Structure 1
């Protein structure tokens, strides 16, 4: 490869999810996004900005249809669209439809409407761009996800499973979120995979919505539940006369502590009694549920799992592209909200992440309390360019204040002490000038 370090540079962002019903209309990163566009407006580089799908949350609009959604977007975010117009006068801006804004591919009028703001909407599943002597493949990635795939891409009447989840759950959450104590329900769109939603709801209810007096009343029992199970077993052994030493020793020690000992004794007995009852009822319930689950599996009732492997289908899609077009160096996608770089057959599979919040599940240090979901921002821009050592992929993090300072309570911090998430973006990666061919099939 020749030295193309001064050639065209591609900046890629995706999964902004701008827009939606009521509380989903809030764009926490709007200031940072406009500042990034302002910077591109004055750059000296030969740049193209690619918005690789899900720029808008059109699925999350349920009270307006068709092009009326775009009218709402331009009315709500005039500064953003004016900045798109200004930046687009200096550098080309290309946009691909995602699943949440699939209507961009379904209505030709969107091409003209976005062109008014100097945005080139390409109504296709994927596009390619040259980088030096190589090529980059861009697609949003939802076509590799069976829950969000469009068999007839661009058909405005087609509605995959993900459409119903977002119109019935996510948009509903946007309308109800303000009723909560801390306006948290709107963040349901940041919960991935969707199977985590029940645990996330339980977590937010317990730590944010539950009456504080009730929460602090049950907190000691839940914290000591594991200990209480042991105590319940030891109490049972004592009653049966099998092993009395632990209970007798504990009683003797507590008797020496007077009123404090009596209080501790009462708490331990109460916890052990409750834990014992739960054990007696829980064991048969467990076997009943286990047998029911096995029966359901035999009949194949739940053959489709909502969770899609975040890597495997994209690695397969990348291999297919690399085999079909050997000059392709990068397979760049979004959709899964996980910024990462994976080497595939000497090339790179690159995910552009999301500008929404990311929620990191952390289990508590003890007890049977709900997990804590730490929020964070990883606003990132992927930069792809031809360099002297090959095709380089670099992540630039757009700084934004940590939301956990305001959204994680002292109780949650104490219960996850030492388990706080530390987020980082992938390091710089390079596809070298020469790519070794994959080993031939011996068969």
Structure 2
């Protein structure tokens, strides 16, 4: 337990993911981060900044090794490191390794190099800080994720499943991103959960990379797919003589509008023909796919899927910490990139979110158009302090304009009108002093 004065205030951020190969070098929140650090440089509070893991994307560096990665960071972001130095003269800055920068725990040289910039690198899995009569538990959170758990902490050769994903896929995306029509592939590290990667890639191909003539010729068919499926069934009933009235009335109605009605009818006929063929093929394929999935499930082939539970393991970890350390009432972590506060056994489970761009999936309301991944920023710093009623936890938002206007095509923006994501952050919570007697 760190013995810190009761009046100390803690600011917590995590998951900055700074650095990586080529296009991953860019920090899209650079000015916002510098502004936040300058504010702490000038604060009169007795404050400590805790950077709770994944400050740097060391896994995403594939052309340099060991302490050379620090050299690259230092050369690439001199303004940021100088600001660390200046802020660290006024407030204590504590850095905890995450999974993406686990190497910080593996080589002691990092401690000395960060120390030159007034950053205290703690090479432990977790730390604790006293706040009033209570305490806070800090950890990045990847140890609760089986795909990123590092059993041999501090081993430079530790390679969980997430390591291979980021060194082989994320870093490669950074190397290739500028070859696209828009530099979108670098956002690969913002796609969560990982299972959404294939549909995200298809979505960006459709809205960004596909030849515009092909895309706009497909849009009417995809939008009208649901209607065409119904018409295909009605057409089948008409051809078999079971029920001809809907088709007859539709033909007579559109016939009143001359060539316009004929064009609309022709479009429906083409769509119905294609849709009918897809339905004939799709129905048996659906049952075959379902049977194959059931068989695979029985054999447990995919028991190590990338998708993990982002809530239950952390709740269980918090309960364990609260039980073993009764004075601890706040369990603060990151890793999942989802800012949240949940009450657990009288204490608080607090996630600090991420400073990376977030992508919110918006499925089409009609038709078969690919989903749109709506970008936004939700830059937050968690402030934890002792007050008269107990320990308060509140999110401070750092404003950054939405990148949607620049990053979404006109089609994507039209499809997401009125469906923008909710940018609200969790409300302020207080752990009352009496709670520690639970």
TM-score scaled by structure 2? 0.98
Counterpart contact for 1:5–1:388, Cα < 8 Å: no
Q: Give the Cα–Cα distance (whole angstroms) in 2 for the partners of residues 252 and 5 of structure 1.
A: 84
1:66 is paired with a residue of what secondary structure?
Answer: coil
Q: Which position in structure 2 is the counterpart of 1:253?
A: 253
Q: Which moved more, 1:296-305 or 1:134-143?
A: 296-305
Q: Give the Cα–Cα distance (whole angstroms) in 2 for the partners of residues 273 and 336 of structure 1.
A: 45
2:433 is paired with a residue of what secondary structure?
Answer: coil
Q: Give the Cα–Cα distance (whole angstroms) in 2 for the partners of residues 132 and 300 of structure 1.
A: 49
Q: Give the Cα–Cα distance (whole angstroms) in 2 for the partners of residues 89 and 423 of structure 1.
A: 34
1:69-113 CA-to-partner distances (Å, cap 9, x unmatched) read 110000000000011011111111100000000000011111111
Q: Which position in structure 1 is the counterpart of 2:369?
A: 369
Q: Which position in structure 2 is the counterpart of 1:213?
A: 213
Counterpart contact for 2:103–2:156, Cα < 8 Å: yes
| TM superposition shift of 1:300 | 1.2
Structure 2 counterparts to residues 34-45 of structure 1, below 5 A? 34-45=34-45
1:242-291 CA-to-partner distances (Å, cap 9, x unmatched) read 00000111111122221111111110100000000000011111112111
Structure 2 counterparts to residues 164-243 of structure 1, below 5 A? 164-243=164-243
| TM superposition shift of 1:437 | 6.1
1:374 is paired with a residue of what secondary structure?
Answer: strand
Tell me, which stretches of 5 or more residues in structure 1 are unaligned? Answer: 439-443
1:128-162 CA-to-partner distances (Å, cap 9, x unmatched) read 00000110000000000000000101101110000
Counterpart contact for 1:359–1:373, Cα < 8 Å: yes
TM-score scaled by structure 1? 0.96
Q: Which position in structure 1 is the counterpart of 2:432?
A: 432
1:48-83 CA-to-partner distances (Å, cap 9, x unmatched) read 010000000000001111110110000000000011
Residue 391, structure 1, aligned to residue 391, structure 2: yes
Q: Which position in structure 1 is the counterpart of 2:88?
A: 88
Q: Which position in structure 2 is the counterpart of 1:290?
A: 290
Counterpart contact for 2:328–2:436, Cα < 8 Å: no
Q: Which position in structure 1 is the counterpart of 2:322?
A: 322
1:75 is paired with a residue of what secondary structure?
Answer: helix
| TM superposition shift of 1:435 | 1.2
Q: Which moved more, 1:329-338 or 1:257-266?
A: 257-266
1:15 is paired with a residue of what secondary structure?
Answer: coil
Counterpart contact for 1:5–1:385, Cα < 8 Å: no
Structure 2 counterparts to residues 142-181 of structure 1, below 5 A? 142-181=142-181
Would the alpha carbon gap of residues 5 and 163 (structure 1) be closer, same or farther in structure 2, given more than 3 Å must change? closer
Residue 407, structure 1, aligned to residue 407, structure 2: yes
| TM superposition shift of 1:398 | 0.7
Residue 338, structure 1, aligned to residue 341, structure 2: no
Counterpart contact for 1:5–1:387, Cα < 8 Å: no
Q: Which position in structure 1 is the counterpart of 2:350?
A: 350
Q: Which moved more, 1:330-339 or 1:305-314?
A: 305-314
Q: Give the Cα–Cα distance (whole angstroms) in 2 for the partners of residues 361 and 130 of structure 1.
A: 39
| TM superposition shift of 1:364 | 1.7
| TM superposition shift of 1:305 | 2.1
2:364 is paired with a residue of what secondary structure?
Answer: coil
Counterpart contact for 2:234–2:247, Cα < 8 Å: yes
Would the alpha carbon gap of residues 340 and 259 (structure 1) be closer, same or farther in structure 2, given more than 3 Å must change? same
| TM superposition shift of 1:354 | 0.4
Counterpart contact for 1:385–1:392, Cα < 8 Å: yes
Q: Which moved more, 1:232-241 or 1:26-35?
A: 26-35
Tell me, which stretches of 5 or more residues in structure 2 are unaligned? Answer: none
1:367-389 CA-to-partner distances (Å, cap 9, x unmatched) read 11111111111111000000111
Q: Give the Cα–Cα distance (whole angstroms) in 1 for the partners of residues 107 and 6 of structure 2.
A: 37
Would the alpha carbon gap of residues 375 and 337 (structure 1) be closer, same or farther in structure 2, given more than 3 Å must change? same
Structure 2 counterparts to residues 257-296 of structure 1, below 5 A? 257-296=257-296
| TM superposition shift of 1:419 | 1.4
Q: Which position in structure 2 is the counterpart of 1:79?
A: 79
Counterpart contact for 2:173–2:185, Cα < 8 Å: yes
| TM superposition shift of 1:42 | 1.4
| TM superposition shift of 1:5 | 11
Q: CA RMSD in A?
A: 1.3
Q: Moved runs in structure 1, 4+ residues, more than 3 A?
A: none
1:382-436 CA-to-partner distances (Å, cap 9, x unmatched) read 0000011110001001111111121122211222232121211111110011117
1:128 is paired with a residue of what secondary structure?
Answer: strand
Q: Which position in structure 2 is the counterpart of 1:441?
A: none
Q: Give the Cα–Cα distance (whole angstroms) in 2 for the partners of residues 129 and 405 of structure 1.
A: 42
